Structures are given as structure tokens and as C-alpha cells.
């Protein structure tokens, strides 16, 4: 046997062994394409393309293209929900019943008409799957479909944030007939019975401007224009979303014209691309809050959890220097709500670096030597921000006022685990909005998601109890003006008594070929392919 034949045999041997277990092969067939094809390259992790399981940025982008939700946002806006499959909505006087009027004559890609039964089925499925996106509908008591064109959400408590929440690509409306035919379940036992995910990973069953034509995990998603889309045909015929993990490779391909949009660029790449005239380099602010946090359990964080020390840390940090690490486009945050959302504090209100004040606060605390440990993900670069660099910067800033910080760099998965288990002594991180509404950032409050992880229960003190109460009020307030005032009050108080130092709102560096129009980057679903055209 010579070398050539044995390699062939080896390849076949493996092929046969694996093929025996092959249930379905996927044929991603694409027509020859040119100007009608948009090629984009993020660096992606897609775990699923079934809206019921989706909660990753690129998967959300694909689902946004393939499934319409009841409401949506335009371009990069995060403030004003716009009609999509729902043409209008109204709230009952007690704030607990939301009634949506559905757009008439909308058809799914299968040709089936979209009715309130599909909406109810889709929402019930999300609620009962108990998967990643289930929390979106936690506040929903019941979904009703009184007639074909009307959907009613009965809430457990008043929750105005439900309207922006409904824009989530995970809450896109599914063709209940088609999905049920492929094993979809929306009943109480959906969590064990539903088998539709495999189908929805290779096909889509929505009313969106595009439908999924092919998906090869880890490699690429191909979308084809939906000929039945209710807003009319999209300008692009086909979208290829290809996984290109290496940022420099993305930049090279974009410069050569082999790529139309690159969203996985590093900051250096973006800087280089600025010199190429055929490319438009953007830096889009994302609805993410970067915050330094300290654990309230002194067993873990030592003297750092002392309220005076936390205040001192806030004055000791060199925010201008930190903004340089955060990169172009990043801006200060005065509170924990990103500046692009109603309810945020004016960045001019933010704490200014004042080392003398920091030292004075430490003297007031009357502690001999102040030590602590900062845990961070040593292998993570997010929004172009190198976490290890930021950790070193914080260490140096705190050393300047006499707080000695040990750095504990861990692999991302392990530091995330520690943080979620409430075992991180001190850390910084970006909390990204799941939906475009300020209430998503109340997680920092005592007793809520992040608060609990910082071992800060709602009943810690009368002050925390009151703060938690204000948070609940802000969340339920339907009047926008009153709501904004409450959210601002909550944030100011949070910084007086909470274990946080807001750092900045980051910006994502990305770029596209200058012959494209209508390309925007939305904080939740990225690029809206329907709006993109080539000139």
C-alpha cells in the first residue's frame, strides 16, 4: 500500500464510521451571486437558530432577519418602539393588560397566514421551553388570542418594559403549523417534548425579510430573500454570514473587497482600515454598562467592601486613562444605565478623579493597610477592550491612593462561574442589554441578579430595602417622565450605598464597504439586513 492510497482509505474509513450515524445531511446550495449577495463576517458563536433558544448576538441578528416580532426599533435607536407585526398597542388603566392589534394580510414564508394563534403559540412555547429566552416573558401571566387579529398579554404586575422586550429576536413569531409539524410544542411539557430545534437550525418559519437557506454550525449561515415579505422585497437577494474568528483576517478580506461588513474587528484593525477610502469605519455605542464591582461579603473582599473604601475607589480611578483603554467611541457613564437609554444619568454628572478626596476617605475609614483581590478574565477581549490591560490599570490607580490589589486572572469560563456563584471578591465587567430598556439594568440593585452575585441582598439594611422598593416602582411606572425621574433617583442612591463604580459605555469597532447604504449596528440585533442595499 503506498502512501497515497492509505491516506484515501483512512479518510473513507472515518467517513463510513461517522456516516453510519448520520441522520440528515445538509445541503447548503447557493445560486451564483454577485451584487445581490451580501457577505458579512462576525466572529460568531451560534448555539442555536431556534428563536426559543437564541441569546447570542449573531444568532439574534439572523433571527431578526428571519422572524418579525410584534414591535421593533429603527436603525440604532433604543428609545422608541415601532410597529412591526403589531400595528398598535394599548395599555389598560391598571397597567396590567396589553392589547396588540396585528397587521392584517401578513404571510409566513410557507404561505400560511399569520394570526393571533401563531403569536400565542410562539409566546407559550418560549414560556414553557424554560430555555435562555424564557426570562423575557417572566412577567406574563397569560397570553390570549380573543380574535384572529388581536393578542392580549395579561401581566402579573404593571410592566411597561414589556413593549421593548417584545422586540427581541427570540420573541419572533413562528409559523405554528410548520413548527408543530416538525416537532414543535408550546404546552406545559414543551421543555421535554419540543423537538423543533433541529428543524429550525436549518430552516426558518417566520414572516421575516429573509429565510434561512443553510446553516453549517461554526461556519456559516446563508439567508435567502423571502419573496412573500409584507414590507416588500429586501434589496439584497442573499446574505452570507461567515465565521471568521481572526480579526486581522477579517480586516484583510474587507480591504480586498471579499467581505462587505466586518463586525469582529479589533481596534488596531479599525484604525488601519480608516486609511482605506473604499471602507467606512464605524464605532457604534452598545447598550452595555462597564462597571467595577466589589463583593459585599467581607470574608471575600476584605476591607474593599467597607463603604468608605468603595467611595475612595470611585475617586481614585483615572477615568480618562480608562477611557483610552476602552477605545474610540466609548463614553463615561454617571450611573449603571447606558447613556443611550431613557433613564440614564448625564455623563457630566459622573464622578471626577480626585485622589486627595480618595485618600481623605480612606483616612476616615481608619484602616491600617488596605488590600484586596481583583478577579478578571485574562483571555477576554470584548468590544476591543483587553481585560488584562484594564485590570492592570485599575491596580495601578488604586495603588496610587494606597490600596494594594492582587490581580487574579482566570480563564473566562472560570471567572464567569465564580462571578455567578457570588465568589468573586472584586471584578469589572460589561453587562449587555438583553432588550432595549433601562429596566434591564436594574439587575445591579440589591437582591437582583448582579446585586445577589455581589452578596448584596435586598434586606441587608433599611436603606437597601428602600432602594429595592424604588427599583420596583420605577419598573412599574407607566408614565415615561416619572419613570425617568425614578430611574435617576435609583441610580444616584445606588452609587451612594452600592458596591459599584461605573466605568464607561463601550463602543464596538466595525466597518463596511462604502458602496453599501442603510447599514446600521443595533445594540441587540446588530445589522438589519432588510435596510441594506448596494449603490
Cβ nearer to other proteins, comparing 45 with 463: 45
Instruction: Kindly tell me which residue out of 87, 192, 195, 459 binds other proteins, with binding defined by CB under 8 A.
Output: 192
Under rule CB under 8 A, residue 240 binds other proteins: yes
| Least spacing, CB of residue 46 vs other proteins, in Å | 8
Under rule CB under 8 A, residue 365 binds other proteins: no
The cell numbers describing 13, all together, are 474509513
Cβ nearer to other proteins, comparing 133 with 329: 133
Q: Using CB under 8 A, which residues numbered 172 to 191 contact other proteins? A: 191
Q: Using CB under 8 A, which residues numbered 116 to 155 contact other proteins? A: 129-135
Give the list of residues 6+ apart from residue 367 with CB closer than 8 angstroms, or none.
Answer: 303, 306, 309
Q: Using CB under 8 A, which residues numbered 441 to 460 contact other proteins? A: 449, 452
Q: Using CB under 8 A, which residues numbered 262 to 301 contact other proteins? A: none
Phi, psi of 136, deg, nearest 5: -55, -40
Under rule CB under 8 A, residue 325 binds other proteins: no
Cβ nearer to other proteins, comparing 307 with 447: 447
Instruction: Kindly tell me which residue out of 72, 84, 115, 201 binds other proteins, with binding defined by CB under 8 A.
Output: 201
Q: Using CB under 8 A, which residues numbered 68 to 127 contact other proteins? A: none
Q: Using CA atoms, how far apart are residues 154 and 141, in angstroms rounded to an integer?
A: 5
Under rule CB under 8 A, residue 228 binds other proteins: no
Is the distance from CB of 502 to CB of 336 less than 8 angstroms?
yes
| Least spacing, CB of residue 218 vs other proteins, in Å | 6
Beta strand extents in 198-349 (DSSP E only): 210-216, 220-225, 238-242, 261-262, 279-285, 288-294, 331-332
| Least spacing, CB of residue 354 vs other proteins, in Å | 33
Q: Using CA atoms, how far apart are residues 448 and 467, in angstroms rounded to an integer?
A: 11
| Least spacing, CB of residue 50 vs other proteins, in Å | 8
Q: Using CB under 8 A, which residues numbered 418 to 437 contact other proteins? A: 420, 431, 434
Using the Cα atoms of residue 371, residue 372, residue 378 and residue 383 in order, give the sign of their dihedral. negative
Cβ nearer to other proteins, comparing 17 with 368: 17
Cβ nearer to other proteins, comparing 28 with 331: 28
Q: In what order do the strands lie in the sheet with 97-102?
A: 86-91, 97-102, 150-155, 140-147
Under rule CB under 8 A, residue 475 binds other proteins: no
Cβ nearer to other proteins, comparing 218 with 324: 218
What is the helix (H) or strand (E) element at residue 533, kind and residue range? Answer: strand 533-534
The cell 481585560 sits on which residue? 387
Question: Nearest-5° angle of CA 471, CA 476, CA 479?
Answer: 110
Cβ nearer to other proteins, comparing 208 with 214: 214
| Least spacing, CB of residue 493 vs other proteins, in Å | 23
Cβ nearer to other proteins, comparing 126 with 503: 126
Under rule CB under 8 A, residue 479 binds other proteins: no
Q: Using CA atoms, how far apart are residues 262 and 281, in angstroms rounded to an integer?
A: 10
Query: Given the rule CB under 8 A, which of 49-57, 94-102, 154-162, 335-343 is the region that contacts other proteins?
Result: 49-57
Instruction: Kindly tell me which residue out of 57, 81, 160, 214 binds other proteins, with binding defined by CB under 8 A.
Output: 214
Name which of 110, 220, 215 is nearest 173 in CA terms: 110
| Least spacing, CB of residue 383 vs other proteins, in Å | 17
Is the distance from CB of 524 to CB of 136 less than 8 angstroms?
no
Query: Given the rule CB under 8 A, which of 9-17, 294-302, 385-393, 489-497 is the region that contacts other proteins?
Result: 9-17
Beta bridge partners of 501: 292
Cβ nearer to other proteins, comparing 177 with 242: 242
3-class secondary structure, 448: coil
Is the distance from CB of 244 to CB of 220 less than 8 angstroms?
no
Cβ nearer to other proteins, comparing 264 with 329: 264
Cβ nearer to other proteins, comparing 19 with 157: 19
Give the list of residues 6+ apart from residue 75 with CB closer than 8 angstroms, or none.
Answer: 520, 522, 528, 531
Under rule CB under 8 A, residue 55 binds other proteins: yes
Is the distance from CB of 512 to CB of 41 less than 8 angstroms?
no
**In the 8-state DSSP scheme, what is residue 353?**
P
The H-assigned helical ranges of 216-339 are: 247-256, 267-273, 298-301, 307-316, 319-326
Under rule CB under 8 A, residue 16 binds other proteins: no
Query: Given the rule CB under 8 A, which of 214-222, 226-234, 298-306, 389-397 is the region that contacts other proteins?
Result: 214-222
Strands 71-72 and 82-83: antiparallel
Instruction: Kindly tell me which residue out of 79, 80, 278, 417 binds other proteins, with binding defined by CB under 8 A.
Output: 417
Under rule CB under 8 A, residue 18 binds other proteins: yes
Amino acid at each position: 500500500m503506498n502512501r497515497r492510497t492509505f491516506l484515501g482509505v483512512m479518510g473513507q474509513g472515518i467517513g463510513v464510521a461517522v456516516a453510519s450515524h448520520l441522520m440528515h445531511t445538509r445541503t447548503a446550495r447557493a445560486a451564483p451571486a454577485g451584487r445581490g449577495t451580501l457577505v458579512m463576517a462576525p466572529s460568531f458563536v451560534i448555539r442555536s437558530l431556534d428563536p426559543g433558544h437564541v441569546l447570542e448576538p449573531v444568532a439574534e441578528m439572523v433571527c431578526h432577519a428571519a422572524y418579525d416580532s410584534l414591535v421593533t426599533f429603527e436603525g440604532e435607536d433604543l428609545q422608541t418602539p415601532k410597529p412591526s407585526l403589531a400595528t398598535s398597542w394599548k395599555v389598560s388603566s391598571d397597567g396590567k393588560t396589553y392589547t396588540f392589534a396585528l397587521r392584517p394580510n401578513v404571510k409566513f414564508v410557507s404561505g400560511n397566514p399569520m394570526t393571533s394563534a401563531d403569536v400565542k403559540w410562539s409566546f407559550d412555547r418560549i414560556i414553557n421551553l424554560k430555555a435562555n429566552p424564557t426570562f423575557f416573558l417572566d412577567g406574563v401571566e397569560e397570553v390570549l388570542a380573543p380574535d384572529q387579529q388581536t393578542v392580549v398579554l395579561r401581566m402579573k404586575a404593571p410592566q411597561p418594559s414589556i413593549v421593548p422586550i417584545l422586540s427581541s429576536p427570540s420573541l419572533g413569531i413562528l409559523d405554528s403549523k410548520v413548527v408543530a409539524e416538525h416537532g414543535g410544542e408550546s404546552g406545559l411539557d414543551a421543555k421535554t417534548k419540543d423537538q423543533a430545534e433541529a428543524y429550525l437550525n436549518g430552516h426558518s418559519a417566520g414572516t421575516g425579510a429573509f429565510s434561512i437557506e443553510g446553516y453549517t454550525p461554526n461556519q456559516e449561515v446563508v439567508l435567502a430573500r423571502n419573496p412573500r415579505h409584507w414590507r416588500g422585497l429586501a434589496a439584497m437577494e442573499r446574505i452570507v454570514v461567515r465565521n471568521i474568528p481572526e480579526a486581522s483576517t477579517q480586516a484583510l478580506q474587507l480591504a480586498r473587497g471579499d467581505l462587505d461588513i466586518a463586525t469582529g474587528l479589533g481596534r488596531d484593525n479599525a484604525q488601519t482600515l480608516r486609511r482605506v477610502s473604499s471602507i467606512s469605519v464605524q464605532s457604534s455605542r452598545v447598550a452595555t454598562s462597564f462597571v467595577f464591582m466589589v463583593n459585599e461579603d467581607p470574608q471575600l473582599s476584605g476591607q474593599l467592601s467597607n463603604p468608605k473604601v468603595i467611595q475612595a475607589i470611585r475617586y481614585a480611578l483615572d477615568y480618562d486613562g480608562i477611557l483610552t483603554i476602552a477605545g474610540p467611541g466609548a463614553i463615561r457613564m454617571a450611573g449603571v444605565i447606558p447613556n443611550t437609554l431613557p433613564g440614564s444619568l448625564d455623563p457630566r454628572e459622573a464622578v471626577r478623579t480626585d485622589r486627595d478626596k480618595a485618600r481623605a476617605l480612606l483616612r476616615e475609614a481608619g484602616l491600617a493597610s488596605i488590600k484586596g483581590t481583583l478577579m478578571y478574565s485574562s483571555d477576554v477581549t470584548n468590544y476591543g477592550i483587553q481585560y488584562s490591560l484594564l485590570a492592570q490599570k485599575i491596580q495601578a490607580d488604586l495603588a496610587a491612593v494606597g490600596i494594594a490589589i492582587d490581580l487574579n486572572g482566570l480563564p473566562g469560563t472560570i471567572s464567569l462561574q465564580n462571578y455567578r456563584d457570588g465568589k468573586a471578591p472584586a471584578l469589572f465587567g460589561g453587562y449587555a442589554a438583553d432588550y432595549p430598556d433601562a429596566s434591564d439594568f436594574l439587575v445591579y440593585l440589591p437582591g437582583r441578579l448582579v446585586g445577589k452575585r455581589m452578596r448584596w441582598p435586598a434586606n441587608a439594611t433599611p436603606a437597601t430595602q428602600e432602594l429595592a422598593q424604588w427599583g420596583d416602582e420605577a419598573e412599574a411606572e407607566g408614565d415615561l417622565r416619572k419613570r425617568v425621574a425614578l430611574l435617576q433617583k435609583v441610580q444616584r442612591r445606588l452609587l451612594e450605598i452600592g458596591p459599584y463604580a461605573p466605568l464607561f459605555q463601550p463602543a464596538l469597532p466595525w466597518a463596511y464597504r462604502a458602496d453599501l447604504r442603510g447599514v446600521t449596528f443595533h445594540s441587540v440585533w446588530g445589522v438589519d439586513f432588510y435596510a441594506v442595499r448596494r449603490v
